[in-house]
């Protein structure tokens, strides 16, 4: 059965790169361009993992993570922050709120794939 990934980012180039990469890895890929779109997708789909930007218009990554953590149906969904916020305090906050991993931009696609696969195994 295909693993499901939700990519939540408002930067089109990042979304296209990650979508292409994870489809090649045989994932079923969902795309959201902001947090409210992600919440809408999460109402009807249970991804195995969410790649989540923090700084987005409307609903930010922190609010999206909070929603995921509050849903019983999503309790097994892993969340990886993928963000330009790279201060130690940002990283600590993201992990304290419940992110499984915290990766910073700019990023290596190869590293993201290996981190995602590691979390899912």
48-67 pLDDT, tens per residue?
A: 999 999 999 889 999 999 99
Whether this model's pTM surpasses 0.85:
yes
For the chain, the domain total comes to: 1
Taking residue 80's Cβ as centre, other Cβ atoms within 10 Å add up to 20
pLDDT grade, residue 75 (50/70/90)? very high
Stretch 19-47: mean pLDDT: 97
Q: 33, 99, 93: which is closest to 68 by C-alpha?
A: 99
Residue 79: which CATH number? 3.40.50.2300
Q: In Å, how far from its chain's centre is CA 69?
A: 13
Give the chain's radius of gyration (CA, Å).
Answer: 13
Peptide bond into 106 cis (omega under 30): yes
Please give the pLDDT value at position 58: 87
Domain that residue 29 falls in: 4-120
């Amino acid at each position: 059965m295909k693993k499901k990934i939700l990519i939540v980012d408002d930067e089109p180039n990042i979304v296209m790169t990650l979508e292409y990469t994870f489809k090649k890895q045989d994932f079923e890929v969902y795309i959201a361009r902001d947090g409210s779109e992600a919440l809408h997708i999460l109402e009807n789909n249970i991804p195995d993992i969410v790649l989540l930007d923090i700084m987005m218009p409307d609903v930010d990554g922190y609010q999206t993570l909070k929603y995921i953590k509050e849903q019983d149906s999503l309790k097994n969904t892993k969340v990886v922050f993928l963000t330009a916020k790279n201060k130690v305090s940002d990283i600590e906050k993201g992990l304290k709120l419940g992110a499984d991993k915290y990766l910073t931009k700019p990023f290596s696609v190869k590293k993201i794939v290996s981190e995602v696969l590691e979390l899912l195994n």
